[in-house]
Structure 1
Amino acid sequence: MNWNRYIKDYQSYLRIERGLSKNTIENYSFDIERLCLFLETNQIEISPVKIKEDTVQEFIYAVSKEVNPRSQARIISGLKSFFSYLVFEDYRNDNPLELIETPKTGRKLPDTLSIQEIDRLIAAIDLSSNEGERNRAMLETLYGCGLRVSELVTLKISDLFFEEGFVKITGKGNKERFVPIGEHTQKFIELYQDTVRVHQVIKKGNEDTLFLNRRGNQLTRAMIFTIIKDLAVKIGLHKNISPHTLRHSFATHLLENGADLRSIQLMLGHESITTTEIYVHLDRSFLKEVMQTFHPRK
């Protein structure tokens, strides 16, 4: 069974015709590779052109024992897209996932950190090393500007407009936006630049990249995840956090302090206000406080 050729053609389609980012394409491909692994493990030799609904259903059932409904829904969606492509290209006549139902996931609200928890997380950084100054600047930037992790690792020095109080961010689909940056965050970026980065040997092609690893290369997203996870363990924080948590906390704290959704939407780079509404949930205690403060019948 030769899946590789079909997967490569599909990846080219996603990149060229749909204009998706490398990260998104990798996520789509991961779902297909997971199906391939299932077929190999169970010694089922069948091509993507011949595979039937019952075989895919067996795979979905096996996956459901390992992942939560949200991840399961994502896998089904990814595979539906792949087989729809095969139908579109006349490799198949039908989509074997057409009748497979996506599990209901509800609205998933990510963990949010309080201001005190963010302060503790940053205070736990070991500043005795060069990486410490860099990590503090990175976390302050993630939270101070509400960036995606992919936006942080690709941030350029030439995108910093400190005198104007903005940074230029290249987000999903290579769309650019300007995000305000406060003096507090600027201070730690400049400290990192002046005390650490200025002394680094920088690999060719990374001269304009702001945050670098010890070898002078651009940091990976996985490295940022590891740094934050390790800090959470260090302070005994029992929340499932990631770089995304700091972005979510940025938006939530803005909303709690009176910012309007439209402004938050622009800063986060969301195309739809609906996405922002899901992002910036308000916990019940805050809603209760708003009711007691502002309602005439409190």
Structure 2
Amino acid sequence: MKEITPRQPAGTLAANLDQLIESFLLAQDVGITSKVVYRRALKRFKEFLSLREAAGGVGYLTKTDIVQYKSHLLAEGLSPRTGNLYLTSVRQFFKYLESNRIYPDVSAGLKGFKRSYGFNRDPLTLQQARDLLNSIDTSDMIGLRDFAMINLMLRTGLRTMEVVGSNVGDIRQTSNATLLYVRSKGKDAKDDFVVLTREAYEPIARYLAARHCTDPRAALFVSHRNYNEDGRITTKTLRCAVKRQLLAIGVFSSRISAHSLRHTFATMALQNGATIEQVRDTLRHQNITTTQIYVHTTDRLEHAAEDTIKI
């Protein structure tokens, strides 16, 4: 591959970007999921450079150009979280280019998007959680499955993708606990686990018994539609199942969704005496500051200054 020097225009960088991206990805000691994110983000950056080149606006890339790319992402309506994923990929890419004397790191010092303090989804109240479970008709296979899934998420805080990706053989018995091994966000192997209490495990056992399923390689939760009988459910199916039951109990807020079940678990665990470290370990947050948001929100509601006003 021809070396690109810092004196070559950005259009040349864009023209060689596919080769450079492949070299960059090969050099990264990260998981497959992270590489997919890098590839997608850098493809978007290449499209940005190509558009500018077509408009005659590309000279030599400077930090100003990267700042303009940040503005471009903002104008496209990306969330701060998604925008930061794209910017992080670009920063890592230019750091790689500079370390290999291919192109200077014009992204150095670039600040990310400011994120709001809090979550985009709200937790359910205790009564809503109870109503949600009680609303599910378990007289057929779909009802047995939906109850087992929703109950599992409320009691363990699992993400939708973790539930969908689980197999029967991921449930393992130890001398004193039943565990479900999952592939956590950003990881390639199922080396994390959640503890299945009796209340979490028994609905799953009833569902598997009704399916007559003992194959450890089988998906834990499957479709029961004629067009996809016994096929692994999708995240869309899971989210729709949760949304359907939320509507059934009169919860119409756009801030409550399938992901709210994870927030519900964390909030209730803290309210019932779990430590922040215990909740962090169960949710598998890489940074405890993410878990601390739940603590802040819980304390804010329980010790609201507004409650002191007596007029």
Same fold per TM (> 0.5)?
Answer: yes
Cross-structure match for 2:180: 168
SS of the residue 2:259 aligns to = helix
**Which region of structure 1 is more displaced relative to structure 2, 241-250 or 256-265?**
241-250
Pair 131,4 (structure 1): closer, same or farther in 2 beyond 3 Å: farther
Partner amino acid for 2:301?
A: S
- TM normalised by structure 1 equals 0.76
SS of the residue 2:38 aligns to = helix
- Of 181, 199, 203 in structure 1, the residue corresponding to residue 196 of structure 2 is 181
- Of 12, 23, 43 in structure 2, the residue corresponding to residue 9 of structure 1 is 23
Kindly state the Cα deviation for residue 253 of structure 1 after the two structures are TM-superposed. Answer: 0.4
- Of 301, 304, 307 in structure 2, the residue corresponding to residue 285 of structure 1 is 301
How far apart, in 2, do the equivalents of 1:138 and 1:194 lie? 15
1:244-264 superposed Cα distances (whole Å, 9 cap, x missing partner): 322222111010111122222
- Of 152, 158, 171 in structure 2, the residue corresponding to residue 147 of structure 1 is 158
How far apart, in 2, do the equivalents of 1:225 and 1:78 lie? 29
SS of the residue 1:282 aligns to = helix
SS of the residue 2:27 aligns to = helix
Pair 207,69 (structure 1): closer, same or farther in 2 beyond 3 Å: closer
Partner amino acid for 1:278?
A: I
- Of 191, 198, 206 in structure 1, the residue corresponding to residue 206 of structure 2 is 191
Partner amino acid for 1:246?
A: L
Structure 1 position 33 matched with structure 2 position 43 = yes
Pair 30,210 (structure 1): closer, same or farther in 2 beyond 3 Å: same
For the pair shown, which has the larger CA radius of gyration, 1 or 2?
2
Question: Percent of aligned positions with the same letter in both sequences?
Answer: 23
1:180-208 superposed Cα distances (whole Å, 9 cap, x missing partner): 2222222221222122x3279x9xxx834
- TM normalised by structure 2 equals 0.73
Contact preservation (8 Å) 1:146, 1:268: yes
Cross-structure match for 2:6: none
Pair 107,217 (structure 1): closer, same or farther in 2 beyond 3 Å: same
Partner amino acid for 1:166?
A: T
Kindly state the Cα deviation for residue 67 of structure 1 after the two structures are TM-superposed. Answer: 2.7
Cross-structure match for 2:5: none
Kindly state the Cα deviation for residue 222 of structure 1 after the two structures are TM-superposed. Answer: 4.5
How far apart, in 1, do the equivalents of 2:239 and 2:91 lie? 29
Structure 1 stretches of 5 or more lacking a match?
293-298
Please list, as runs of the form range in 1=range in 2, the aligned pairs for 1:1-298 lying within 5 A after superposition. Answer: 1-14=15-28, 17-18=29-30, 20-22=31-33, 24-41=34-51, 44=54, 51-65=61-75, 66-92=77-103, 94-110=104-120, 111-125=122-136, 127=138, 130-161=141-172, 164-172=176-184, 173=187, 174=189, 176-195=191-210, 197-198=211-212, 207-213=217-223, 214-232=228-246, 235-283=250-298, 284-288=300-304
1:1-20 superposed Cα distances (whole Å, 9 cap, x missing partner): 24333333333334xx23x2
Contact preservation (8 Å) 1:162, 1:186: no
Pair 77,215 (structure 1): closer, same or farther in 2 beyond 3 Å: same
1:33-54 superposed Cα distances (whole Å, 9 cap, x missing partner): 32233344555499xxx74434
Structure 2 stretches of 5 or more lacking a match?
1-14
Pair 85,279 (structure 1): closer, same or farther in 2 beyond 3 Å: farther
Partner amino acid for 1:136?
A: F
